[in-house]
Amino acid sequence: MSNKAIVLAAAVALAAVSTGRAVDRVETTGKEKPVLGKIVSITPQQVEVELLSSGGATRQIPANEIKNVMFEDEPRALLYARKNIADGEYDKAMDDLQKITPAEIGHRDNVVTEVEFFKAYCATELALSGNGDITEATNQMLAFVKAHDGSYHYLHACELIGNLLVAKGSYSQAEPYYRKLAAAPWPDYKMRAAIAMGRALLAQGKAAEAAKAFDEVIASDAGGELAEAQRLAAQVGKARTMAAGNQVDAAIRSLEKIIADADADNEELHALAYNALGTALRKAQKPQHALLAFLHVDLLYNSNPEAHAEALANLEQLFTELHKPEHAKRIRATLDQRYKNSRWATGAR
């Protein structure tokens, strides 16, 4: 644990002792300080906190703005698991979670829910990155939503089930879960659902239908950083539909503008955009340019496993086409080592 985390944990503990009240902690996606107090209710839409030293005043925090919820006296291994998840170390996080015993949790249902969600979440991330079993992860997440339909994780879990089903090629089964996400009260969740459905349609070769889903997001007048992030992702998706049709040059111009305008710190968007650009350039019969696009993902924007695996699969093919077998062999070794069960490594692309 970092010195900052230790100091914060000590401060929370001191507050609990000095006030004689339970101290829970909610971290939000914004830049504000964590919300401290006692969690008094949880629904799929929000977490309500009785604020510390507030005379009983409460605050409702929307689920789409929640980054983490930490409960008083929760097992230390759960804290370590959250840190490893934030670092993308899902195997380590799973090991942390497996160490938590029923005696440590007691009768605290909220902590049980957290542990079960993060176990299913780690299984999902490992499966989607090609390092776990898709069916097993799907079953775990389905069991979670069935047992904990009142959790603030519920809508996120539905989205993940949709993603797992799409990865399995079960497109029609994924749609109801994306529709649950679309029914959320926040514009950014509705936009996320439309993008997810657009990507599923694109994976089925239904470019025209996918374009309609992406256009819906692009046309949204929702404001704020969360909505703007979804609009940019939709623009990348729309460019992919253009490249899948007869608008390859327009798709390339659009993606080059997205990349030029994108925040340098937005690695996920850069990875998505460079992969889409590489795909469009391959269709335009420009293999050298496509190679450079996919190399950007491999070397600079490789934190997203799915995007990185896609880039590696294309790099292997391009190096082979360009008569560089040693490079192709090296790329293939990385793909097999890091994403061995992914659709990009197995050829089901």
- Taking Cα atoms as reference points, which of 36, 113, 40, 104 lies closest to residue 74? 104
Q: Is residue 164 part of a domain?
A: yes
Query: Which of helix, strand or coil describes residue 41?
Result: strand
Q: Is residue 316 part of a domain?
A: no
User: In terms of domains, do 133 and 67 share one?
Assistant: no
User: In terms of domains, do 93 and 31 share one?
Assistant: no
User: In terms of domains, do 22 and 7 share one?
Assistant: yes
pLDDT at 168: 87
Phi, psi of 24 (to 5 degrees): -105, 170
What CATH number should be reported for the domain holding residue 104?
Answer: 1.25.40
Domain boundary among 173, 200, 220: 173
pLDDT at 225: 83
Q: What's the CA gap between 234 and 224, in Å, rounded?
A: 16
Give me the DSSP letters along 251-273.
HHHHHHHHHHHS-TT-HHHHHHH
Mean residue pLDDT of the chain comes to 90
Binned at pLDDT 50, 70 and 90, residue 6 comes out as very low
Note the pLDDT tens digit of each residue in 306-346: 899 999 999 999 999 999 999 999 999 999 998 888 889 88
Q: What's the CA gap between 8 and 1, in Å, rounded?
A: 11
Domain boundary among 27, 54, 73: 73
User: In terms of domains, do 78 and 104 share one?
Assistant: yes
Q: Is residue 139 part of a domain?
A: yes
User: In terms of domains, do 137 and 161 share one?
Assistant: yes
User: In terms of domains, do 160 and 130 share one?
Assistant: yes
User: In terms of domains, do 120 and 163 share one?
Assistant: yes
Q: Is residue 64 part of a domain?
A: yes
Q: Is residue 162 part of a domain?
A: yes
Domain boundary among 48, 73, 98: 73
Q: How many domains does the chain have?
A: 2
DSSP 116: H
User: In terms of domains, do 11 and 58 share one?
Assistant: yes
User: In terms of domains, do 81 and 158 share one?
Assistant: yes
User: In terms of domains, do 60 and 137 share one?
Assistant: no
Note the pLDDT tens digit of each residue in 227-271: 898 999 999 999 999 999 889 999 999 999 999 999 888 999 999
Q: Is residue 141 part of a domain?
A: yes
For 32, the domain range is 1-73
What CATH number should be reported for the domain holding residue 20?
Answer: 2.30.30.100
Q: Is residue 100 part of a domain?
A: yes
Q: Is residue 284 part of a domain?
A: no
Q: What is the pTM of this model?
A: 0.84
User: In terms of domains, do 136 and 86 share one?
Assistant: yes
